[in-house]
Structure 1
Amino acid sequence: MYAHVDINNCYVSCERLFRPELEGRIVVVLSNNDGCVIARSNEAKAIGIKMADAEFLVRQRLKESNAVMFSSNYALYADMSARLMNNLARYTYLLMVYSIDEAFMALGNIADLDLDKHTETISTNVFDHTGLPITVGVGPTLSLAKLANKSAKKKGRKFLVLDTAEKISETVKDFPIEDVWGVGMAYYSKLQENNIVTAHDFRELKADFVRKQMTVQGWRLHQELWGIPCNEIKDVAERSKGIESSQSFNTYQTELEKVEEAVAMHAGTVALKLRQQKSMALQLTVYLRTNKHNVKHDQYYPSLTVKVPFAANSSHEVTRICVQALKAIWQPGYKYLKTGVRATGIIPAGEVQYNLFSNYDNTKHQDISSVLDKINDRYGRGTLKLATEGVSQTWKMKQDYLSKQYTTQWSDIIITR
Structure 2
Amino acid sequence: MFAHVDINNCYVSCERLFKPELEGRVVVVLSNNDGCVIARSNEAKEIGIKMADAEFMVRQNLQKNDAVIFSSNYPLYADMSARLMNNLARYTYTLMVYSIDEAFMALGNIHSLDLEKHAETISTNVMHDTGLPITLGIGPTLSLAKLANKAAKKQKKAFMVLDTEEKISKAVKNFPIEDVWGVGLAYFQKLLEHKINTAHDFRQLKADFVRQQMTVQGWRLHQELWGIPCNVIRDVAERSKGIESSQSFNTYQTRLEPIEEAIAMHAATVALKLRQQKSMALTLTIYLRTNKHNVKHDQHYPSITVKVPFAANSTHQFTRVAVQAIRAIWQPGYNYLKTGLRATGIIPAGEVQYNMFANYEHSREQKLAGLMDDLNNRYGRGTLKLAIEGFDRKWIMKQESLSKQYTTKWNDIVVTR
TM > 0.5 fold call: yes
In the alignment, the residues of structure 1 paired with residue 50 and residue 241 of structure 2 have an alpha-carbon distance, to the nearest angstrom, of 31
User: Structure 2-normalised TM-score?
Assistant: 0.98
Q: Show the counterpart of 2:409.
A: 409
Match of 1:138 in 2: 138
Given that 2:97 and 2:237 are in contact with CA atoms closer than 8 Å, whether structure 1 keeps it comes out as no
Partner residue of 2:309? 309
1:370 and 1:404 map into 2 onto residues whose CA distance is 28
Partner SS, residue 103 of structure 2? strand
Aligned to 1:83: 83
In 2, Cα distance between equivalents of 1:372 and 1:337: 30
- Give the structure 2 partner of residue 22 of structure 1: 22
CA contact 2:5–2:149 (8 Å) conserved in 1: yes
Measure how far apart 1:74 and its partner are. 0.5
Question: Is the CA contact 2:376–2:383 (under 8 Å) kept in the aligned structure 1?
Answer: yes
C-alpha deviation, 1:196, in angstroms: 1.7
**Letter in structure 2 aligned against 1:95:** L
- Measured in 2, the distance between the counterparts of 1:310 and 1:154 equals 48
Contact conserved, 2:268 with 2:318, CA < 8 A, in 1?
Answer: yes
Aligned 1:145-160 pairs, distance under 5 A: 145-160=145-160
Shifted more, 236-245 versus 259-268: the winner is 236-245
Correspondence for 2:236: 236
Counterpart of 2:186? 186
Alignment partner of 2:221: what SS? helix
For 1:366, the aligned partner's letter is: Q
Name the amino acid aligned to 1:81: S
* Structure 1 partner of 2:161: 161
Any idea what SS the aligned residue of 1:245 has?
strand
Find the residue that maps to 2:168 and give its secondary structure: helix
Q: How far apart are 1:88 and its partner, in Å?
A: 0.3
Change (3 A) 1:316 1:239: closer
Question: Does 1:116 pair with 2:148?
Answer: no
The 2-side partners of 1:64 and 1:372 are apart by: 48
Cross-structure match for 2:339? 339
Amino acid at match of 2:164: T
Report 1:165-314 matches (<5 A).
165-236=165-236, 238-314=238-314
Mapped to 2, the partners of 1:11 and 1:224 lie a distance apart of 31
SS in structure 2 of the partner of residue 39 of structure 1: strand
- For 1:303 and 1:185, the matched residues in 2 are separated by 26
Q: Is the contact made by 2:33 and 2:398 (CA closer than 8 Å) also made in structure 1?
A: yes
What whole-Å deviation, never above 9, does each CA across 1:121-150 have from its counterpart, x for those lacking one? 110111100000001100000011011111
Cα offset for 1:310?
2.0
CA contact (8 A) 1:28 1:70 kept: yes
How far apart in 2 are the matches of 1:150 and 1:62? Answer: 27
Distance in structure 2 (CA, Å) of the matches to 1:172 and 1:130: 32
Q: CA deviation at 1:237?
A: 5.1
Partner of 1:7: 7
Q: Is the 8 A contact 2:95 2:236 kept in 1?
A: no
Partner SS, residue 384 of structure 2: coil
- TM-superposed deviation, 1:325: 1.1
The question of whether the paired residues in 1 share the 8 Å contact of 2:239 and 2:346 is answered with no
- State which drifts further: 351-360 or 99-108: 351-360
TM-score of the pair, normalised by structure 1: 0.98
- Aligned partner letter, 1:328: A
Residues 59, 242 of structure 1: alpha-carbon distance in 2 compared, 3 angstrom cutoff: same
C-alpha separation in 1, matches of 2:247 and 2:193? 40
Q: Distance in 1 between matches of 2:241 and 2:10?
A: 25
Q: CA deviation at 1:240?
A: 2.7
Residue 361 (str. 1) matches residue 334 (str. 2) = no
Secondary structure at the aligned position of 1:359 is classed as coil
Give deviations 1:299-354, integer Å, cap 9, x for gaps. Answer: 22211222212221111111011111111222112111111111122122111122
Q: Deviations over 1:1-36 (max 9, x none)?
A: 000000000000000000000000000000111000
> 1:272 aligns to what SS in structure 2?
helix
Q: CA RMSD in A?
A: 1.2
Q: How many residues align?
A: 417
Counterpart contact for 1:138–1:145, Cα < 8 Å: yes
How many angstroms apart in 1 are the aligned matches of 2:35 and 2:239?
Answer: 31
Equivalent residue of 1:240, what SS?
A: helix
Q: Within 1, Cα distance between the matches of 2:258 and 2:144?
A: 48
Match for 2:275: what amino acid?
Answer: R
* Deviation of 1:295 (Å): 1.8
Residue 40 of structure 1 and its aligned partner are, at CA, apart by 0.4
Query: In the alignment, is the contact (CA less than 8 A) between 2:288 and 2:340 conserved in 1?
Result: yes
Q: Residues 237 and 277 of structure 1 are in contact (CA less than 8 Å); yes or no, is this contact kept in structure 2?
A: no
| 1:238 CA drift (Å) | 5.0
Q: Is the 8 A contact 1:288 1:339 kept in 2?
A: yes
Distance 2:309 2:192 in 1: 50
Gaps of 5+ in 1: none
Identical-residue share of aligned pairs (%): 79
Q: Any conservation in 1 of the 2:407–2:413 contact (CA below 8 Å)? A: yes
